[in-house]
Amino acid sequence: MIPETEGRSTCTAEDPPSPAKQAGLLAGDEITALNGQAVSTWDEVQQVVRSNGDDRLIITVVRDGQERMLAATRTTTMQRDLTSEGELTTVGFLGVEPVGHTVVTRGGPIYTLQRMGEMTMSAAEGIVQLPVKVWNVAGAIAGVQERDPEGPMSVVGGSRLAGEITSTTTAGIDTSNKVAMMGLLVGGFNLFIGIFNLLPVMPLDGGHIVGALWEGLRRRLARLLRRPDPGYVDVARQLPLAYALGITMLGLGLVLMIGDQVVPIPSGL
The pLDDT assigned to 9 comes to 67
Q: What is the pLDDT of residue 167?
A: 86
The pLDDT tens digits of the residues spanning 30-87 come to 899 998 889 988 889 888 888 888 788 889 999 988 899 888 876 666 665 555 555 6
How big is the CA angle at 144 (ends 140 and 150), to the nearest 5 degrees? 35
Which sequence spans correspond to the domains of the chain? 4-93, 109-262
| Choices 1.20.1250.20, 3.40.50.11900, 2.30.42.10, 3.90.226.10: CATH for 4-93 | 2.30.42.10
Tell how strand 30-34 and strand 57-63 pair up.
antiparallel
State the pLDDT at residue 137: 92
Which residues of the chain fall below pLDDT 70?
1-9, 74-87, 100-102, 171
Q: Which of 5, 10, 59, 12 is nearest to 31 (CA)?
A: 59
What pLDDT sits at residue 257?
Answer: 93
Q: Please give the Cα distance from 172 to 248 (Å, whole number).
A: 42
Q: pLDDT value at position 81?
A: 54
